[in-house]
Amino acid sequence: MRNLADSRHNRTELFVKECKVEDSDKFFSRTVVVTGDEKLLATDNGKIMIKTVTNLTSRFTDRIYISLTDSQSALQAELVDLALKAGAESSSGIPEKIDVVISIGNSSIRGDFGININSDGWVSYLSCNNNVNVFENSMQNSIGAMGASCFASAEAFKRMVEISGCEQKWAKKHPKNFTYSFLTNSLSKDNAPFPNDVKINEDVLLVGVGAVGSGFVYALSQIKNLTATIDAIDDDAFDDTSLNRCPICFKEKLGQNKAKVAEEYSTESLQIKSQPVKFNEIQDKLGSKLSLVVSTVDNNEARYQIQSSLPKLIFHGATGQSVANVSIIKFLENACFCCIYQSNSSREEVISHEMGIPVTEVKKALENNAKFTEEHFALMKEKFGAQADKFQKFVGLSFDDVYKKEVCGKMEIKTKDGTKSSSVSFVSFFSGLSLAAELIKFSSDTLQQYPMNTRKDFLRLNLLFPETINHYVWGRFLHPVRRNNNAYSVTEFRNNCSFDWGISCLCFDMFQKRI
């Protein structure tokens, strides 16, 4: 019997069917076993790996077994409880049929498909159906450990879809050996000692505690000797769809404010303060806290609001389909937040394209703050067919809210016929984890040679094809526009920022006035 919230299960089922798995029960009947080497699980890296991989994998599978030795019975019970809270059926032991085995280190337990992981400092190691590297004196570093868990969860997901009858090429491609360094964001073994103490001297503002934001919070909470103050801003509450993708959301947290839940992840030296409001309601009161901003917002209006507050530096995480994106926006050197996300189309045109509703109807709904109606649903149904069925339950809610929360920025995978599907936990988690890594490197004297913004400003990694990684540099702006007035609105930002070479960015002049 499935122990899942209906919406969580339905979203996963929708994805599986869109992957051309006609009988979704083939996916849900798959069994995952999580195990590990006893010696490795006694280390900090090992414990973080097994807890994180259990957390992420429990969010898309129905059945997960935890199999550890008798001496690890307390850890085993903790992991079973974690999986149950995330929405999966879970128990200890070894089932008769094993579809996927995820092992921390190498294990004697064998199934039809094995994933072995390990970490050494900033480096994550993964092997499929092959032993993984074992280190006698590996460097302790939570970032590399959590990264290995993220990659393992992705490979387990791909394997479950593959053996359920999927036609997608990505489901059948598994790396025999895979290495990733979070130090240099590369497929390498680049490494360096983790600082004994990491102190982020400036207050950090986290805007958005959804899928990516909760991954960022989770990652920071796992790092020892980290001293920081984080203001977490989000007026939204976790709902049952959050179980798919948010590592700090569990069944008992449904209905609770996201920022307040994030506050519970404070440690002795990491102070997370909740701000359960919209960003634009308090941005004028933030003052000096607008120095380092971590943005995980998924719509352009919110991005424009953040940039209009002129923070010194923006760390931004986002997802698109199966791709995790991370960027550092230092707009005195490169494009500003508005420029990057400036669309050639109007907001109404973008919404019209994504929802299948005529531009005139979209504009009318937004101008009048109208509700999402049966007529709107019928238009979506006409264009997207059964894919639109999930939107019927939103009839009567704010049209704008339905778009922002259910369409814009969702972590989705696109099938070969162009349809979109539900979010997956490991994609957004990679983005949040990478944000945490970049913030730490930026704040550490010994690691400042490694932050992304000294090499490339934009990282893109496809979790379904992890061996494909891309870096980009945002365009530079040559001639700043001079403006006499000091008051700038979000509309002015949107109208005066352009992502083209040689066209000036309004933010440059504004920030010069501020400093």
pLDDT, tens digit (0-9, with 9 covering 90-100), for 498-511: 444 333 455 555 55
For residue 408, the cross-strand partners are: none
pLDDT confidence bin for 385, thresholds 50/70/90: confident
Count each helix (H run) and each strand (E run) in the chain, helices first. 18, 16
Pick left, alpha or beta for residue 125 (phi over 0 → left; psi -120 to 50 → alpha; otherwise beta): beta
Question: 219-223, 301-305, 392-396 — which one is most confidently predicted on average?
Answer: 219-223
What are the start and end residues of each CATH 3.40.50.720 domain in the chain? 6-181, 198-343+423-472
How far apart are alpha carbons 327 and 286 in whole angstroms? 23
How far apart are alpha carbons 225 and 182 in whole angstroms? 19
- The answer for residues whose C-beta is within 8 angstroms of residue 42's C-beta and 6 or more apart is none
- What CATH number belongs to 198-343+423-472? 3.40.50.720
Distance set, CA 383 to CA 11, 354, 364, 380, 418 (Å): 20, 10, 20, 5, 12
Question: 61-70, 278-287, 327-336, 355-364 — which one is most confidently predicted on average?
Answer: 61-70
In 3D space, the residue among 159, 164, 175, 167 whose CA is nearest the CA of residue 33 turns out to be 159
| 64, 152, 165, 355: CA torsion to nearest 10 | 100
Query: Strands 313-320, 323-329: parallel, antiparallel or unpaired by DSSP?
Result: antiparallel
pLDDT confidence bin for 67, thresholds 50/70/90: very high
How far apart are alpha carbons 341 and 344 in whole angstroms? 10
For residue 233, the cross-strand partners are: 207, 275
Write the burial class of residue 280 (CB in 10 Å: 0-12 exposed, 13-18 middle, 19+ buried).
middle
The single-letter code of the amino acid at 308 is S
Beta strands in 105-176 (DSSP E): 114-120, 123-128
**Which CATH entry fits the domain spanning 6-181: 3.30.2270.10, 3.30.200.20, 3.40.50.20, 3.40.50.720?**
3.40.50.720
Question: What percent of the chain stands above pLDDT 70?
Answer: 77
pLDDT, tens digit (0-9, with 9 covering 90-100), for 149-185: 999 999 999 998 888 877 777 788 899 999 999 999 9
Local structure of 234: helix, strand or coil: coil
In 3D space, the residue among 431, 410, 430, 432 whose CA is nearest the CA of residue 422 turns out to be 410
Whether 239 has a pLDDT exceeding 70, the answer reads: yes
The single-letter code of the amino acid at 164 is S
For residue 257, the cross-strand partners are: 237
Identify the residue with better confidence: 302 or 318.
318
**What are the DSSP calls for 195-231, one per residue?**
PS-EE--S-EEEE--SHHHHHHHHHHHT-TTEEEEEE
Give Cα 73 to chain centroid, integer Å: 31
Question: 85-94, 290-299, 451-460 — which one is most confidently predicted on average?
Answer: 85-94
For residue 317, the cross-strand partners are: 326
Local structure of 434: helix, strand or coil: helix
Whether 296 has a pLDDT exceeding 80, the answer reads: yes
How far apart are alpha carbons 431 and 215 in whole angstroms? 8
Query: Each residue of 438-477: b (16+ CB within 10 Å) or e?
Result: bbbbbbbeebeebbbbeeebbbbbbbbbbeeeeeeebbeb
In 3D space, the residue among 15, 334, 332, 385 whose CA is nearest the CA of residue 168 turns out to be 15
Backbone phi, then psi, for 115, in 5-degree steps? -125, 120
Beta strands in 71-130 (DSSP E): 89-92, 100-104, 114-120, 123-128
| pLDDT score at 420 | 36
Local structure of 57: helix, strand or coil: helix
| pLDDT score at 206 | 97
pTM: 0.80
| CA contacts within 13 A on the Cβ side of 140 | 15
For residue 292, the cross-strand partners are: 204, 313
List the structure tokens of 409.
Answer: 């920025």
Mean local confidence (pLDDT), 366-383? 90
In 3D space, the residue among 319, 316, 320 whose CA is nearest the CA of residue 330 turns out to be 316
How far apart are alpha carbons 299 and 366 in whole angstroms? 15
Query: Strands 226-233, 204-207: parallel, antiparallel or unpaired by DSSP?
Result: parallel
pLDDT confidence bin for 21, thresholds 50/70/90: low
251 and 243 Cβ atoms separated by less than 8 Å: yes
Mean local confidence (pLDDT), 82-95? 93
Whether 495 has a pLDDT exceeding 70, the answer reads: no
